[in-house]
Each structure stands twice: as structure tokens, then as C-alpha cells.
Amino acid sequence: MDPIFDQRRYLIPFRSTLLPQIFTGTLVIGGGVAGLRAALAAAAHGEVIVLVKGDLYLSNTAWAQGGIAAAIADGDTVDAHVRDTLVAGAGLCDEAAVRLVVDQGRDRVRELLAWGMRADRTAEGETAFGREGGHGRARILHSDGDATGKEIQRVLVERVREVPNIRVFENCFGLDLITPTAEVGSPVMGAITHHPRYGLQMIWARATILASGGAGMLYRETTNPKVATADGLAMAYRAGASVGDMGFVQFHPTTLYLPGATRSLISEAVRGEGAYLVDDSGHRFMLDEHPLAELAPRDIVSQAIVRQIARQGGRHVWLDCRHIKGFKTRFPSITAELARFELDPAEKLIPVHPAAHYMIGGVRTDLCGRTNVPGLYAAGEAACSGLHGANRLASNSLLEGLVLGEIAGRTASEMTQANGNGGASNAWGVAPRPSPVAVISDIRPSDHGELDLVDVQSSLRSAMWRNVGIERTSAKLHDACDMFDFWARYTLDKIFDEPHGWEIQNMLLVGALIGRSALWREESRGAHLRAEFPGPREEFAVHDLWRRGRSTVERVGLA
């Protein structure tokens, strides 16, 4: 059996009866926009615990420089926003999911504004709407120019802090979802977690909502914070949940590219304000690539940059912002970051290069956030709802988290409020709980010696960038899959006792799934570019699903 699909059920051996027991109605794993909005909705029908891997303010949401798209500007319509989303999704969006998110997104954004979100204003005091890649009109709300995610995180955190039946567990690592048996489809009943002070703990829950974010740290070049190590995707896969569209990873076209510097995001809003992409000679090459030039969908811009870099034999292209008036006021965070490297955007070109940005694939859900595993829901970047198709439209991710997070939190009441075997009230003493136990004999001993985890992580990220990056070939993808199989034999059978080891195992598993999905999809569509297959193919206009214990892909048609 393929070592990836023969993945063991739990990362560590444990006996639940010997560990501290915590009980709640709904467990939310993740503290970004989707997780916090889910928690607020779930709190209406019971106790909620929000599990956060690090600090509550360290999430992809808080790092989001771009805005949040909503069809609320005068003259804008739901149909127009839906149309732009479908075009960006390259024929793989589920239109029902698109219409749901765009339609309900208007109310969710107005709700945020009513809760105190500070939106940028025009000189006349009206809400300012920006335009970003793939949008046919200006419909993007921003806060402080380039700090929209940070502002949304602030509003939601303050709201959550006000709700007495929501508890937030920070710096608490989710290892695995609890199921009564190791069989695929066995219901999820919470999670086993690790805290640096309290050690291993069992958190039992009637409903578990996975909102753990993405997988950007799988790539050497990424815009994501260090916590984005695909933990939620891996634990859902081990619990038997189907993951879909894993080959679709969105690369942001413009990150600051300087030797030794982190790949700081240069927001798409900068191009929305009129910035140009130019080559070493100063030629504005996007005019030759797409009618929307710099405002083309992200996959088109990223791929064009890679081709331009190859043509000129360099390491990056340039972003020209020198003609944008009021740049420092419009983008204060970006200006401050550039100043660290003595770059003044009013005078100098900014060196930029694409980087891994957003995980389009994820745990497959229906429009209510349900997965194929009873008791498990998913929302946000960790989920695959069908909204994004083959390529996420700019600024739709925060909107998705708000809408589908709220729906998942509300839908979880079917578990927390049900009677009988399917669920119960918040009074946990009503019925005994199953006690899943993993013993040492369940885990194969390793005879491969000690691992240098830093070296494995570095090699994994380099291999993903080199072989499963923006431009993919059959040879590179086969090499990546072979490397993952090799590392799996040395890594997945080991038992680690700290988060770094668990993160490496999760990254290895999810990286292998991305590679296999990309190898299976013999076409070029959206964010997925296969050199041997230069265009989309009708037989691949489906979602590809992968599940533990099954070494063949399942095709699912569009909703």
C-alpha cells in the first residue's frame, strides 16, 4: 500500500482514560475569520471552545493585506460579483456555493461594519471601494489601506471576548480528531490536544468545526505565517474526511523579493491603484498578456511573471509605484516594510516575485459546512466548498470565512441540540462516551535512526517550490511523489513529543496529497499549470477527492 494512503490513524499513542478530560458543545479549531465567526454562531446553541495553535492574533486572517469583496456599492450586483468569481474559477466553481457566499456576504459585511469595523472612507466620507485582479468593478473594502485582515481579526476577537460561553485556548496544538474507532467514517467527537503547560488533553465535543487555515509553509516562498503548516487538513484526512482539489494552490504574484528577507506581501490593492509590472528594461509586459493587464486573475499574472523571469534570466521583476499619488497614506504598512530595506516606492522600483499564498483545495464540504464524517464541519481556507473553483478571486477568502463560518457554526446545532445517539444537550453526564485508545503496538517502530527535522522541513519546502510550484511537469511531479514516499518511510512511522515533529508529519502528508492531485490532473486550469497539457480538458472539469485507505481518486461533478 502507498505509504501516504496507509497513513496511521493517530500521530501518537495515548490512552484517553489517563488524560485530562474537557467537555464542550462545539469545538472550533482555528482562530481566524472562519473560526471566530463559527464560534459566535455556535455560541447561540451551547458552550464553545476555540482552539488556537499560537497567539489569537497570529493567523492568515490577521496577515491579510487585501480587502474583503462585497456587492454593496451603488450600482454593483450579486450577479456581477458571481460572474467575476465564476470567470476566475476557470470552470470549476460550484455555482450554488458562489451565489450563496456572494449573496449572504453582503449581510455579513454589513454586520461587521455594525460591530465596529473601520472601513476606509473617501474624501466625502463615503465608504471607499477598491478594485483588484479579476473584478469587473470596484467592490473591495479596506481598512487602513493594507490592514483589512488585522481589523477584521480585531473586531471578531473583541466580539468573541464578550460572549461568556466561548472559551479561547491559545497556544494549544491540535494533534488529531477523536473517533471511537479507526474505521473511515467513524464520527468525530472532539480532539486530542497539546499545551506547553498542561500537556496532552482530550477535548470532547458534540460538534467539531475545522477552521485551521491553509498550508502555505509547505513552500519555500510563501506569504503565510509560520503557523500555516496544514495541520487541520492532515488531521481531517487521518480521521477519514475526504479532501478535494488539493492540486490547486494559489500563488500571489507580488511579494517583496530581496536576498535574506521574508517574502512580504505587496497587496493586490497596490496594482488596483495603478501600479505597473515591468521587466529589467522597463517594459510593462502584462499589456502583452491579458486585456486586464496587471488586474488579470492571479494565476495569469503569476504565470506571466515566471515566464518573464525565465526570458530575462533574472530572479524577479519590478513593481512600479512611482506614479501613484499618496502611496504612503494609502498603504502605510507596506511603506513601513519597504522602509526597512531603504526602498521608497515614490522613487524606486520594488523587486517582486510570486509566492505560495492560498490553499484552494481542502476538506470537502456541502453548503452547510458538513464533511463526509459525522460530527465534523469545516470552513474557510481549510475547507473546499466549491466557491473558488480552480483559482480564488481576489478578496473572496475573507468573505468566504465570514459566510460559511457562520453557517457551519449555526448548522452544528444539529449535533449539539439533537437527542438520542446523534447528540445530546450540553449536560455531558447523560451518556457514557466511547474511549478511543491507541497503543504502542498500533504504531510501527522505526529503525531508521534519528531525523534532522530542520533539514527535512527545508528539503520538503524546497521540493514543493521546485516541483509542485507555479509551472508543473510530469517528470517534476513524479520526482516529488517519489521524494514524499521516501520521506514517509523515514518520518511517518516515528513518534514525536513536540509540535515541530507533528508539523513536519502533517506537512509531509499534505504535500504528498497536493503532489498526487497535481499529477492526476492532466490539464492546465486556473492556478494549476501543466506544461504537457496547455489547456483545460473536459474530462477534468470535476472535483478530485482523496481519502485515507483509498489509493484511487474519486471524481465528483460540479454542483
Active-site amino acid positions:
298
Phi, psi (5° rounding) for residue 387? -65, -45
The CA distances from residue 537 to 97, 361, 521, in Å, are: 23, 19, 9
Alpha carbons 267 and 547: distance in angstroms, whole number: 35
Kind plus residue range of the DSSP H or E element containing 253: strand 249-256
Determine the length of the chain.
559
Q: Which among 377, 447, 374 is positioned nearest to 405, based on CA atoms?
A: 377
Contact present, 40 and 108 (Cβ < 8 Å): no
Q: Which among 380, 390, 411, 328 is positioned nearest to 529, based on CA atoms?
A: 390
Contact present, 504 and 456 (Cβ < 8 Å): yes
Strands (E), 268-337: 276-278, 317-320
Q: Which among 497, 498, 493, 486 is positioned nearest to 460, based on CA atoms?
A: 486
Contact present, 146 and 333 (Cβ < 8 Å): yes
Write out 474-489 in H/E/C secondary structure.
HHHHHHHHHHHHHHHH
Contact present, 209 and 409 (Cβ < 8 Å): yes
The three cell numbers of residue 249 are 494552490
Angle at 384 between CA 383 and CA 388, to 5 degrees: 120
The three cell numbers of residue 338 are 519597504
Contact present, 158 and 139 (Cβ < 8 Å): no
Alpha carbons 141 and 280: distance in angstroms, whole number: 33
Pairing of strands 199-210, 21-29: parallel
Give 66: exposed, middle or buried? Use CB within 10 Å, 0-12, 13-18, 19+: buried
The three cell numbers of residue 181 are 474507532
Alpha carbons 416 and 26: distance in angstroms, whole number: 7
The DSSP annotation for 175-187 comes to EEE--SSSSTTPP
